[in-house]
Each structure stands twice: as C-alpha cells, then as structure tokens.
Amino acid sequence: MEAGVSFWICLTSAVVLSGLFCLEVRSVLRLRREGVRTEGTVVDNVEKTAESRRRWVPVIAFTDTEGYRVEFAPRARSGRPLPLGRTVRVIYLRDSPCDARMNSWGDLWLGITLLAVFLTGNGWALIGLGPQVMA
C-alpha cells in the first residue's frame, strides 16, 4: 500500500479514536461525579462465544432511586461466570439507570485504557509515515 494512503487511513482512524476516547472519558467522569452508587446482584450469566473463545457476561439487577428494578449487562466480560447472588457495586446516572455500569476498574476504565493504547500506536504509525509522505 502506498505511504500516502496509509497515512490518511491512520489519520482518519486517529481522529475517530480521539473522538471515542473523549466521549468515553467524559462519560466516566460524569458517572464518577454525578452517579448514584448502589449495590446490585448477579441474577444470570450469558455465554458469548467469539472466535472459539467462551466469555461470560453477568446480568446484574438493582433497584433505582425511583424503586424500579433495573437489569443490565456490564461492558467488561470474564472468562468465568460470576456466582449467582453475588453482590457487586453499581453506578448509574439518575436520569438513565439502564446505562448503569459496575463500579469497578474494568467496567469504567478498561475501554479508555484500550482506546489510549490504540491511539498511541496510531500516533507512532503517523510519525513513521509522515516523512515518507513528505518525500
């Protein structure tokens, strides 16, 4: 592939990744600042199979401030199911309890960390391609 085309692909993906990174950081910081903290219970585990790897996604139920039962599946997946009935920390915005997350490092910061790693790699690729494009 020509260096110029590679450069533009990297630049476009860097812009997209930067946007996603900013949205995710904003979302997590808002959750940490304004979120309602409560406890939820693991009520189920859903098996997800991708590329011959089994992953488990817990289904967590909690009661919001209005007294409604809310169920959600966190973003972070595990190689093993969580025990049914296990209590976990939950955080959600009062106006959108269905978008709750587990109040854990994995569910809050793992996505941001991965986006930062991809963005850094993309930046290094752009630095490497820059002189080739200019020539």
pLDDT per residue rounded down to tens, the chain (135 residues) = 576 777 788 888 889 999 999 999 999 999 999 999 999 999 999 988 777 778 889 999 999 999 999 999 988 777 788 899 999 999 999 999 999 999 988 889 988 999 999 888 888 877 877 666 555
| CA dist., res. 39 & res. 24, Å (int) | 23
Alpha carbon distances (Å) from 7 to 48, 61, 125, 134: 36, 46, 8, 11
pLDDT value at residue 80: 83
φ, ψ of residue 89 in degrees (nearest 5): -80, 135
Q: Return the residue matching tokens 């909690």.
A: 62
pLDDT value at residue 131: 66
The H or E element containing residue 21 is helix 3-34
In angstroms, how far is the first alpha carbon of the chain from the final one? Answer: 16
Q: Where are the domains of the chain?
A: 3-134
